[in-house]
Structure 1
Amino acid sequence: MRQLLPTHDRDKCAAYLPVVADKMGRRSVIFATLALMLSLCGLARGQVSATKVSAAEIAALSRRQILHSISRGVNYLLKHEKPGRFWETGSPSDDYWGGQTSLALYALLEVGQTTGDARLEPDSPKIAPALRFLKAITPKATYVASLELSALTVYPSGGPLYRLAVRRCTQYILQAQHADGAYHYTWDGRKPNENLPNDWDNSNSQYGVLGAWAAIQAGMEVPGIFWLRAEKHWRSCQSPDGGWSYHGGGSTRAMTAAGLASLFLVDQYVHSGVHLHPKPDMDIAHGIAWMGAHLKTDRNLYYLYGLERVGLASGLKRIGKTDWYRQGAGEIIDAQDPVSGGWSGYVLGAPSEAVPTSYALLFLTRGLNPVVFNKLQYDGPWDARPRDDANISQWISNVFEQPLNWRIVNIGSDPRHWLAAPILLITGHGDPHFSAGDVAKLKTFVNDGGTIFSNADGGDAVFTRAIARVAQRVSAGRYSLKRLPPENPIYSVQFHLPSNIGLMGMSNGLRLLWVHSPTDLGAAWQSNDLSAHHGLYAFKTAANVYFYATGKRRVTRKLHPLAMPTAVGPPVQTIRLALVRYKGGDNPEPMSWPFERDFMRVRCQAHLVASPVELGSLDAAQTPVAFMAGKDDFEIHWQVEEHIRRYLRSGGTLFMAAVGGSAKFMRAARRFVGETFPGANLEPISLPDKIFAGRTVGSIKLTKVHFRRRWLRTHPQATAPDLWGIRRHGRWVVIVSPADVIAGMTGLHTWNINGYTSQSARAVVADVLLYAGGSKQALKVSVKPTPIAPGQSPGSDSGTRSSPKPVSQSQPAAPRAIDLR
């Protein structure tokens, strides 16, 4: 639906335009109309008539829906690209020539970085000619210079034409800035930094600041005086109510977003000092408060792009009470043209639909980028270095060309929401005095697969000792923080770090649950110190924690639910499983079986009941399948061995698994099997064994499985389940997995785990349990195999910890041939 501009705003714009045209003395009145109307009129005021998207639709919004919308928008822009003119609609003599192409390229290149769409690579047939066109433009307007820099710096190329174009745009941005830090539409190129107290507006002024930031990303030098002027302007023109206006008058949402986004950038270069106590920017605080009280995520795409910049710069998921990204994305998708895939209108006076479509894509794409470090807000000096997390994420994004976001989470919030990022960053000095409830939330985060990374601001020993106590409480006293040896992968997973950095860690034997730096890395993060020694190593350490926690895989978790969906229909069978307790046994991931239970309930329509049982008390009538896991050597008393033989003769099955692919456990398991079954040796269980044939109720027909990188180092051709067993009377009574399944069941992607990928582990375990403890009735339903994309679980959106979609029928789930990643 196209928006309607109220009469009084149309009249105000119409009255103002001749004045602007006269002052500019240019032929670009059409684009001036666009810029002025989007800033002064409906976009600044957020007045758009549109059908409201329901709260239920917003809550149900998925990553898949957003990516589909993005894809349709990209197709629209590529379809409307014109040879030689690309997305321009004016004349080469216009001041704003190149502006629409800059905006469209900026959006398309951002989408390409996020989605990996090969059509949007800088050297692709669709993008490369447009980039060459852009590099030849000499900007004559603030919007053009800023947007051209934004587009060119998505993929910095470093070639001579690139450097020349960046230099021209940077020169415009630096010299067109007024003496008081403001900007207007154009600059005549004669007198730099003029004193023009009346010829300014906050729409152009925000794009001037954004252009300077983009220039720095391209390697250009922006002098400190630029940021001091910008700070003077934005602080001096803030309204008493905390908001900003276009050029005097009442505060508006679009211009308040402009003021906040600009001050966040200003603070990064003017107020990057290192402190131990928070020094909040009260102008930003007042602006956020105004925005929270007046925020609406309507369909003004210019305003929404500004709102997105505020949300990402602040690390806030909610501004006021509104989840700004989810609400805004819902409105944008609902406004998308169902036929063309573009957005028509929603930027008043836009010369083409490329403008609103580009703004829509920027909002959807940049806000969708994954969060890697959630920073914990607690009652203490958690924010003494307010830009530490933002600078870490930006540095990793720049170095690895993988756009990332950051976010603040409050200790009072639901810890399940913290898992939108794999790492929780805790900083501070002194004792944080976490309560029992706080510790319980940290424990939930860790048990669900999260990694905690803490830094002692100022190298404070009191904070380090307090963190060590909290870490031990999180693990219920099982583990503790210890100095990590030089061979620990945290020192080498991506960058080789000197061991004298002195990192500490708490491991459960499978992965590091907590990494702590007793030396102050946060000072370098806050000041963006990339000097060759301590500063750069601080960023590399953060990057290593990131790559360790994610297993060096691309993170795409934004908007992915971690909880399993609710199964539809009653279960068709119940599997009763004994979790064997024995001396030396260990399952370091307590959520592995709850996650597997939920997977089987949805995917296999089986109800898994798991309960701890002593090894010497197994009863096949009560628990026909028993699971025994460990990572160390173990010894079984001969009387217990005799009991196990009786358990197996009575129809029980023993499923053994080496935690982390432990060689020690496997040696002990082989010895145990040899003592329990004298003269017998473990033999491989190969495809197509009936365990994986999909012949039992709810089972998954496996044709191929996938392993993690560490396993593939020693088993490079492995594509079949690696199981070994003892067969008696035609059935497997002992099944042993040398490859780790525990991490996979938990959904972990941590580096250096020796075993199956997550979805393969869950499927292998499900098939073993259904074979050993499920109904033996063969299904007589014939269905075609359901193809599963690489890295994808059955029914999920992508290769993350999100779970399969619920089975919609109540009858037994039919077997499917699945290539599990």
Structure 2
Amino acid sequence: MRRNLKGRRFLAGLLWTTLAGLAMSGSAAPANAADVTAKQVADAIDRGVVYLKGAQNRTDGSWPEWVGQPGGTTALCALALLNCGVPPEDEAIQKALRYLRTKEKPGMVYSVALQTMVFCAAEPNKDRLAIARNVQWLEATQISNGHAKGAWAYSSDFGRGDNSNSQFALLALHEAEKVGVKVKQQTWRLTLDYWLRNQHDDGSWSYTPDEAEDRATGSMTCAGISSLIIASGKVSGGDAVVADDRIQCCSPHGDDAPVERALQWMGRHFSVASVPAARGGAGTGYLLYYLYGMERVGRLSGRRFLGEHDWYRAGAELLIAHQDKLSGYWKGASHSETNPHIATAFALLFLGKGRRPVVIAPLIHSVEAGLFGPATRHGDWNQHRSAIQNLTQSVSRAWKRELSWHSIDMRAAKGQDLAQTPVLFLSGSEQLRFSPEQKQLLREYIDQGGFIFAEANCGGDGFDRDFRALIAELFPDSPLRLLPPDHPVWFADGPVDPAYVRPLWGVEACCRTSVVYCPESLTCRWELWKPERGAPGEDYPAVVAKDIAAGMAIGHNVLAYATNRNLKDKLDPSVDLARSDTGPLTRSTMVMPKLSHSGGSDDAPNAWPNILRLAEDQLKLNISPEHRMLAPTDPQLFDYPLLFMHGRRTFRFSPAARKQLREYLDRGGVLFVDSICGSEAFAQAFRAEMKAIFPEQELARLPADHPIFSDELHGYNLSRVTLRNPRERRVDERLAASLSDIEPRLEGIEIDGRLAVIFSPYDISCAMENSESLECKGYIKSDAAKIGVNVLLYGLLQ
């Protein structure tokens, strides 16, 4: 006489009670309404874009001009639209461009600067002569003597030099150089000297050079920070130089103290509800202008936090709360910001530019016996200060989307900070010291799908020694190994010149290579890349240009391999790596182990726990994501109604294992099986084992109308899903995959009219482990998760 598995009736009753409760309430518990979401920001941007487009003059493409700034409002609105994803070929942008091209001599710094930025962002090749004309005008208009030497006023014959006009002139010149229009070195030197000369002792700036420290404001300090970063990058020789046809890395650094003092001032005076002022007062005048400046500071400095404040999240929450709910515009409290077109443009520039997804985050790490020095732009973690910014700009161009970067200070890093970062970058030459807690955080980061990209530079052997020791400690079962020539990291985004290939070492973890280490400096090459030309400069010797290009190609490939070019929104929710996964088990806690075997039974250790977490959140059930492995011969098998199994290599069960699995399944158990990364070797081995266990049956594909694909059990409707399929590639092609809209494929074996075995030949595990791999034939992450939840529900409720 057969006995049922322990607990099946109890678990089924518990599930049905919970599902009935969900049906009565209509949904699961709502998310925290106080936390701004990516969707809220996207919706706010969409409404603002619709408002600005609707306010445009349909006849000439302009927006009503602000007094004294011909073309200024139109350029500002067009710039906002472009930075919110409106393409240059859009009718609204084309009309605005035609209007702005009629303003050949705007005559005012704000107007000329904004016009230049629009031309650079939209159609720089078409408007190259106009950009060059504006650059010459701005250079000629720069104040050349007196206490405001190096600044700009409203125009050549109106107003005194001030930090607001100076900031906008500098931004225009910066964008012009990025599209290949030269700016005189003297112009950069004059403006750098101006900003350094007029910074107050506490790090702040006021509106004009003759105003005292107690007149400093947040908006002008933002202007000073971004201007210093831009100008110093143009004047400095950089942290890598070319001499005698050779690259020399790790040159002496310039002084970062002025920028650091200013950033500290911003942290101490942080606010998004008002414009900070040094004298203790604050107001809402020019608030949106100030927020636009704050976005620029965060992006150019690579800071996600100012002090302890997440500047983008705080600003986005404020803007969403104050957007007109009916028309979609913003309106400020004073002067030009009472004009909803200008106010809306500033708000959209903050939201649109500030939400650019992060592609890489350098990690600020220790160099002195586990203690951290100041988190400055220069340190052993950042020997080549423009390298990460240059790499990000280059990848943005190649992937045709605007990306960003930020640094993470390991002293204060939390699990969520790491989890929201697709690639952590570690660089250095000296000692590398982490506390046990920090090491655990790094391991959990990798386990949850993170990626570490590291390099040793500047000739020191301390970093190399300590990094190798760190990896050996974190991954004792997966040592660093030289990556072979056929590894995708060599071609994920494009080929690398074989003459300049550098050794890359890797660690296999979580369905892929999750750590890539170069014992030679790549950042040195990234530092020398010239973003204004999109390639190594023509002023470099040919051998140096090729070396730089190869270094950039390796950077591109690693980022493409690590992210699949699929990046999260800055406000997307993430798992807190520090959270506890294993609370106390109670009678109502469901535990669902994994089946062990010799074919990679734990090669994706977090895939099944992640499915269980999703089911727990969806159904509000007490499901333990405990990592529990059981051998097929373990007598405890019969304590669990459902088992999960996956693998990626060939394997065989023993006769005793086959016998007990057959008994387990005959008694009512369910086996859910996935082929990691769509492995054919595992799939063939598993089918052979099922044939040995069930000689009278075959694994058969489940029909598209099978209940397991429906939402009748409060799961998901899976009539159509998206399959990622690696493309065959030529030697000179980058790694890519196609996406197909298909009916889901699951195979099964029935016993007495119920599904006892459910098998997915397409990958679910790697998608749930971290992110979909370009190398794997399998479902995209959202569909993999839904399939997992549906299978779990169906298996338990049969």
TM-score (normalised: structure 1): 0.80
The alignment partner of 2:442 has SS state of helix
Q: Is the 8 A contact 1:137 1:165 kept in 2?
A: no
Alignment match of 2:550 (pick from 520, 534, 537): 537
Aligned match of 2:150: 181
Deviations along 1:410-467, one digit per CA (max 9) or x if unpaired, are 1131132222221111111133123322221111111111111112223655433432
Return the alpha-carbon distance in structure 2 between the equivalents of residues 361 and 715 of structure 1. 33
Distance 1:59 1:382 in 2: 36
AA matched with 2:313: R
Structure 2 CA distance for partners of 1:694 and 1:96, relative to 1, 3 Å: closer
1:295 aligns with 2:261: no
Contact conserved, 1:426 with 1:454, CA < 8 A, in 2?
A: yes
Tell me which residue corresponds to 2:231: 266
Preserved contact between residue 627 and residue 654 of structure 1 (Cα < 8 Å): yes
1:486 aligns with 2:485: yes
Residue 130 of structure 1: how far off its partner (Å): 1.0
- In the alignment, which of 101, 110, 114 is matched to residue 83 of structure 2? 110
Q: Distance in 1 between matches of 2:383 and 2:737?
A: 46
Which residue number in structure 1 is paired with residue 51 of structure 2?
Answer: 76
Q: Tell me by how many angstroms 1:233 deviates.
A: 0.6
Tell me if the contact between 1:722 and 1:738 (Cα under 8 Å) persists in the aligned partners.
yes
* AA aligned opposite 1:489: P
**What's the offset of the Cα at 1:473?**
2.2
**C-alpha displacement of 1:184:** 0.8
Question: Offset of 1:240 from its aligned partner?
Answer: 2.1
Correspondence for 2:94:
128
1:551 and 2:564 correspond: yes
| SS at structure 2 position matched to 1:636 | coil
Amino acid at match of 1:396: V
**How many angstroms apart in 1 are the aligned matches of 2:459 and 2:267?**
36
The match for 1:64 among 12, 36, 39 is 39
Which of 677, 691, 711 does residue 660 from structure 1 map onto?
677
Q: Helix, strand or coil for the counterpart of 2:117?
A: helix
Deviation at 1:606, TM superposition (A): 4.4
Corresponding residue of 2:326:
339
Alpha-carbon contact 2:482-2:506 (below 8 Å) kept: yes
User: What corresponds to 1:237 in structure 2?
Assistant: 198
Is the 2:640–2:669 Cα contact (8 Å) retained in structure 1? yes
Q: What TM-score results when the alignment is normalised by the length of structure 2?
A: 0.82
Matches within 5 A, 1:298-697: 298=274, 299=284, 300-346=287-333, 348-350=335-337, 352-380=339-367, 381-412=380-411, 413-458=413-458, 460-475=460-475, 477-498=476-497, 500-508=501-509, 510-529=511-530, 530-531=535-536, 532-553=545-566, 555-563=567-575, 576-609=591-624, 611-617=628-634, 619=636, 621-678=638-695, 680-695=697-712, 697=713
Pick which of 177-186 and 391-400 moved more. 391-400
Question: Aligned with 2:705: secondary structure?
Answer: coil
Report the alpha carbon displacement of residue 234 of structure 1 after superposing the two structures with TM.
0.6
Q: Give, in whole Å, the separation in 2 of the partners of 1:557 and 1:715.
A: 22
Q: Assess, with a 3 A threshold, how the Cα gap between structure 1 residues 136 and 257 changes in structure 2: closer, same or farther.
A: same
Are 2:767 and 2:773, in contact at CA under 8 Å, matched by a contact in 1?
A: no
- How far 1:152 moved relative to its partner? 1.7
Local SS of the residue matching 1:261: helix
Shift of 1:241: 2.3
User: What corresponds to 1:148 in structure 2?
Assistant: 115
* Residue in structure 2 matched with residue 205 of structure 1 by the alignment: 166
Task: Tell me the secondary structure at the aligned position of residue 74 of structure 1.
Answer: helix
Q: Percent same amino acid at aligned positions?
A: 28
Counterpart residue type for residue 765 of structure 1: G
SS of the residue 2:361 aligns to? strand
What code does the residue aligned with 2:219 have?
A
Give how far 1:243 is off.
0.9
Cα drift, residue 560 of structure 1: 0.9
The answer to whether the aligner puts 1:728 opposite 2:728 as a matched pair is no
Kept in 2, the 8 Å contact 1:346–1:356? The answer is: no
Change (3 A) 1:588 1:224: farther
Checking the alignment, whether the CA contact within 8 Å between 2:763 and 2:777 is kept in structure 1 is yes
Closer/same/farther in 2, CA of residues 65 and 714 from structure 1, 3 Å limit:
closer
Deviations along 1:315-366, whole A, 9 cap, x unmatched? 1122123222222222222332333321223452458321111111101111
1:518, 1:503 → 2: CA distance? 8
Name the CA shift for 1:166/1:716 in 2 (closer, same or farther; >3 Å): closer
Which amino acid in the other structure matches residue 146 of structure 1?
Answer: A
Q: In the superposition, relative to structure 1, how do residues 644 and 340 fare at CA in structure 2: closer, same or farther (>3 Å)?
A: closer
Deviation at 1:504, TM superposition (A): 1.8
Distance 1:81 1:600 in 2: 48
1:755 matched to which residue of 2?
Answer: 778
Q: Unpaired runs of 5+ in structure 1? A: 1-55, 113-119, 189-195, 777-821
- Shift of residue 573 of structure 1? 8.4
User: Does the 8 Å contact 1:456/1:464 carry over to 2?
Assistant: yes
Aligned length: 694
Q: Deviations over 1:723-778 (max 9, x none)?
A: 22333322232222221111222341333122111121122222222222x133xx
Give the structure 2 partner of residue 710 of structure 1. Answer: 726
Is the CA contact (8 Å cut-off) linking 1:619 and 1:647 kept in structure 2? Answer: no
Q: What is the alpha-carbon distance in structure 2 between the residues aligned to residue 364 and residue 104 of structure 1?
A: 14
Conserved? CA contact 1:549–1:749, under 8 Å: no
Q: Is 1:95–1:140's contact at 8 Å kept on the other side of the alignment?
A: no
> Structure 2 CA distance, aligned partners of 1:729 and 1:350?
72
CA 1:318/1:508 → structure 2, altered by over 3 Å: closer, same or farther?
Answer: closer
Find the aligned partners of 1:704 and 1:631 in 2 and give their Cα distance.
26
CA-atom RMSD, angstroms?
Answer: 2.8
Are 1:216 and 2:177 matched, yes or no? yes
Equivalent residues in 2 for 1:150-169, closer than 5 Å:
150-159=117-126, 162-169=127-134
Alpha-carbon distance in 1 for matches of 2:400, 2:645: 43
Instruction: Tell whether the 8 Å contact from 1:507 to 1:514 is kept in structure 2 after alignment.
Output: yes
Q: 1:311 corresponds to which letter in structure 2?
A: G
Contact 1:549/1:751 (8 A) holds in 2: no
SS in structure 1 of the partner of residue 639 of structure 2:
coil
Give the C-alpha shift of residue 624 in structure 1: 1.8
Which deviates further from its counterpart, 162-171 or 578-587? 578-587
> How many angstroms does 1:57 deviate by?
9.5
* SS of equivalent to 2:748: strand
Would the alpha carbon gap of residues 578 and 252 (structure 1) be closer, same or farther in structure 2, given more than 3 Å must change?
Answer: closer
Partner-residue secondary structure (3-state), 1:703: coil
Deviation larger for 282-291 or 520-529? 520-529
Q: Write the distance in 1 (CA, Å) between the matches of 2:255 and 2:604.
A: 39
Report the Cα distance in structure 1 between the residues aligned to 2:748 and 2:461, rounded to whole angstroms: 52
Supply the distance in 2 between the matched residues of 1:720 and 1:241 (Cα, whole angstroms). 63
The one-letter code sitting in structure 2 at the alignment partner of 1:771 is Y
Distance 2:348 2:235 in 1: 31
Judging changes above 3 Å, is the alpha-carbon distance between structure 1 residues 467 and 753 closer, same or farther for their aligned structure 2 residues? farther
Query: Structure 1 residue 670: deviation in Å?
Result: 2.0
Distance in 2 (CA, whole Å) between partners of 1:350 and 1:693 is 52
Q: Deviations over 1:88-143 (max 9, x none)?
A: 4359xx8621111111100011001xxxxxxx321222221111221232231111
The whole-number CA distance in structure 1 between the counterparts of 2:253 and 2:435 is 22
Offset, 1:82 = 0.9
Kindly state the Cα deviation for residue 703 of structure 1 after the two structures are TM-superposed: 0.8
Higher relative contact order (CA 8 A, sep 6+): 2
The answer to whether the Cα contact below 8 Å between 1:707 and 1:757 also exists between their aligned partners in 2 is yes
Is the Cα contact below 8 Å between 1:597 and 1:607 reproduced in 2? Answer: no
